A and B are shown apart, each in its own frame.
Chain A
């Protein structure tokens, strides 16, 4: 099993450009998540999905969009990149959303917007 994979690993964007961060999991998990991690901070939830076709906002959704057309894939889109979106982005998945079910994380995408 590859677990959770993310592409690209690194990206530099100019202000106003758009891009899609890819996330795929092969564990047949229904729940998937996108987080951002800023220096010295914990992870903040951007969006999450409870299954194909169902997504919902997390704590910091502004400036991002998601879609979930399959169980495996959960791409995150930045439409108009801003310097405030410079961060490390992590995708995660879990078997369930409640209780002791841990989340499995991808290796992250380091994004710089200049």
Chain B
């Protein structure tokens, strides 16, 4: 079965410090991988996606993620957190031709 595990339900950082949101996946097929962000009472917005063209993927708002096949991971990082980054982040996998599988989300808290 295909699945996504977001290893932390909550991550707390101070403004200006690095962000790391962890995601591991399992897939029998070559997957497409996505990170979405959801601000309070808003819909999901695409941050970035992995399409097999490059293992290091750059997204919007300074976020990036690295696809590591050997570790089946797709962790999301940002060098310096901003208060506006506080939101829920979802790691999503599409295993081959199948439908999207969502992680349970990581809530990022940013303190001044």
Name A's B-contacting residues (CB within 8 A). 4, 40-45, 48, 58, 90, 92, 97-100, 102-108, 110
Q: Can you sample 26 A-B contacts with CB below 8 Å? A: A40-B9, A40-B104, A40-B105, A41-B105, A42-B101, A42-B103, A42-B104, A43-B44, A45-B99, A45-B100, A58-B99, A92-B44, A97-B99, A98-B94, A99-B32, A99-B94, A100-B50, A100-B52, A103-B100, A104-B46, A105-B36, A105-B43, A105-B44, A106-B43, A108-B41, A108-B43
In the bound complex, what is the Cα–Cα distance between A45 and B2 (angstroms)?
15
Q: Which of B97, B99, B102 interacts with A42 by CB under 8 Å?
A: B102
Query: Across the two chains, which residue of chain A brings its CB closest to B107?
Result: A40
Number of interface residues of B (CB under 8 A): 26
In the bound complex, what is the Cα–Cα distance between A44 and B52 (angstroms)?
26
